[in-house]
Amino acid sequence: MSRLPFVPEQWPALLVLAIFLALPPLLSESSYLFFMLNIIALNALVVLGLNLLIGSTGQVSLGHAAFYGLGAYVSAIASTTFQWPLPAAFFLSLLFVAVTSFLLALPTLRLEGHYLVMATLGFNIIVSILLGQMENLTGGPSGFPGIPRLHAGGLDVASDVRFYCIIWLLFLLLFAGTLNLTESRLGRAFQAIHEKELTAKALGIHTYRYKVSTFVLSAVYAGVAGFCYAHYVTFISPKSFDIFHSVQVVTMVVLGGMGSMWGGLAGAALLTCLPTWLHRFEDLHVLLYGLILMGVLVFLPQGLIPSLHRAAASLPRVVPSRKACGHEHSKTAGVLPVSEGSPALLQEFSPNGANPSVIAHHHGHAPVLRLEEVSVSFGGLQALCNVSFEVFPGEVVALIGPNGAGKTTLLNAISGLLRPDSGEIIHAGARITNLPPHRVAAMGVGRTFQAVQVYERLTVLQNVLLGLHVEGRSSFFSSMFRTPFERGEEQSLKAKGLGFLRQFALGEKSHVPAVQLSLLEQKLLELARALALSPSLLLLDEPAGGLNPRESGVLMHAVEMLRKKGMGIILVEHDMNVVMQLADRVVVLQYGCCIASGTPERIQKDPRVIAAYLGSGGLRH
């Protein structure tokens, strides 16, 4: 079933939902019941978009009621005041919502931090004031009556039941499409952005573009819901689209479990019904609503659906889980390769993994990286001062120096995470000085981090697939529809990713969440992920930090193999054993300046280096 296009991985659950939704029209004719179910569907649509946004940016919008309202009002005005046909009004309202959300997202999402919440909050309040004040266009606070019902051809959606069928069908389609999107290459990138945005950039993921696109998409979901709402109830007023409705839909998201699509549906259903159930308590209902909301948030840590999942998972399971455990244990012993006894490690590394340009440079003598007088300062602090050196293919350049010498700063400048104040950075003949990090990564600069940056909640395979992200071509559209092209591409990326994992003896653990790996395995995974970018230059930031001598031996062996494949490597390292064994050349930084460079033997005897490390007064290292 899930091999067909558009059918999501979770189709059995969707089928159950669809069957369940088919029951009410067969069992009941109460128009009140259908009215409630229809409102649930509309809220669930908005919540679906919000969940997509939270999943991809980790940010919340307090302005989705405004997009809901814009979808409703623009279509109402176009179809009633200007007598436009419905499809035209529909497209106009969606276009309007898309453009406004785009303009709002453009400046706000460029920044890190919780600016989106504030901007959308302000936006929502402005929109509801405008809807209330522009009386000749919107009818003002008293509302906009006489909106035509949904109709297409001869079919008039005149009853609650008919609208029920249409809105839930629409919801199921969009729900399936959204599930497909979250399970695709793009969905993986969204999760990466949410968890660690800087790392995602260093993997070549255009985080800003994705954040803006998901924001616009989620606003369009709200716009679609607004359009349907306007042409269902035929009367709209600004009160339905104020900031409190935005807060309410966000509450549905949080209640159901942030980022959980099924949780969003549950949250929408519960919170839409709760006020009507509570209305029998009359004046008490506001207080009860608040208390119930607080109670659920306080006592169900992850929201409804994830909490249920966890409860179900903690029930004692008999055979299968134990079997899996034993299986894993028997493998762990063999996974850690021992330093000398690991000929298997990296042996099968295929040259087609590496960038063809690397091979070319390897034979010629053009440098893979050239730094020309690179300077960086933070306020008054000169972090890097006119640093120049070159790295050739197949060469390991170790970058050493006391803490705070500017080593990581230099790596950050090369990978585009910060901009040098002056100087040039040239990679394989191309100037990358002021390029954004995702472009630098896509051009073939891979890196690992001082503090390991694996995506702990994703599996090992998904981590490597993120490294392969730049290789994929599938779009939002093909991901939502799970087109054969997208399926094929995903399959080949997976095969390729598994190949990389096997080279690092991680193949057996491909479906384990990365958080369960040992530090060495996480570092190897980070290396495998960087290699997935097919880099010609690899930046390794303290790869041996925190490892015991046996483990750092394994890592050195891996680096040695990569060098043989013709990659240029910059190695920041404090462990002098590692430096002396691996490095062809050593560059020594102190207070941001390059104080010496040369072969390991020469550097060992250099008096300036000895002074920098030992200091004139006392022991420094």
Partner 1 sequence: MLISLAPQFFFSGITNGSIYALIALGYCLIQNATGLVNFAQGDFVMIGAMIMISLYNGANMPMPLAFLTAVAGTAVVGMALERGPLRLSRNRDTLTLVMVTVGASISFRGSSMLIWGKSDHIFPAFGGESPIFLLKAAILPQSLWILGLSLLVLAMLYVFFQRTLLGKAMRAAADNPFGASLIGIPVSRVVALAFALSGGLGAMAGILITPITSMNYDAGLMLGLKGFAAGILGGYGSAAGAVVGGLLLGILEAFGAGFISSAYKDAVAFLILLIILFVKPAGLFGSVRVRRL
Contacting residues toward partner 1, per CB under 8 A: 60, 107-108, 111-115, 117-119, 121-123, 125-126, 129-130, 133, 198-199, 243-244, 247, 250-251, 254, 258, 283-291, 293-294, 297-299, 301-302, 378, 408, 412, 417, 449-451, 453
In angstroms, what is the minimal distance from the CB of 403 to partner 1? 14
**CA 539 to CA 476: how far, in whole Å?**
31
What count of residues does the chain have?
621
How many Cα atoms occupy the beta-carbon half-sphere of 415 within 13 Å?
29
In angstroms, what is the minimal distance from the CB of 251 to partner 1? 6
In angstroms, what is the minimal distance from the CB of 136 to partner 1? 13
Closer CB to partner 1, 126 or 169, in the complex = 126
Long-range contacts of 169-173 (CB under 8 A, 24+ apart): 170/41, 170/45, 170/224, 170/228, 171/41, 171/44, 171/45, 171/48, 172/14, 172/17, 172/18, 172/21
Closer CB to partner 1, 463 or 474, in the complex = 463
Cα angle for residues 187, 192, 195 (degrees, 5° grid): 125
Closer CB to partner 1, 140 or 600, in the complex = 140
Closer CB to partner 1, 16 or 286, in the complex = 286
Contact 73, 144 (CB under 8 A): yes
Contacts of residue 467, Cβ cutoff 8 Å, sequence gap at least 6: 203, 446, 497, 500, 528, 529, 530, 531, 532, 533
Closer CB to partner 1, 17 or 278, in the complex = 278
Closer CB to partner 1, 157 or 254, in the complex = 254
How many Cα atoms occupy the beta-carbon half-sphere of 80 within 13 Å?
22
- State CA 516 to chain mean position distance: 21
In angstroms, what is the minimal distance from the CB of 412 to partner 1? 7
In angstroms, what is the minimal distance from the CB of 379 to partner 1? 10
Cα angle for residues 36, 42, 45 (degrees, 5° grid): 140
Query: Which is nearest to 552 in space by CA: 562, 539, 543?
Result: 543
In angstroms, what is the minimal distance from the CB of 93 to partner 1? 22
In angstroms, what is the minimal distance from the CB of 199 to partner 1? 8
Strand 422-427 vs strand 396-400: parallel, antiparallel, or unpaired? unpaired
Closer CB to partner 1, 114 or 608, in the complex = 114
DSSP code, position 513: B
**CA 474 to CA 497: how far, in whole Å?**
17
Closer CB to partner 1, 258 or 425, in the complex = 258
In angstroms, what is the minimal distance from the CB of 555 to partner 1? 20
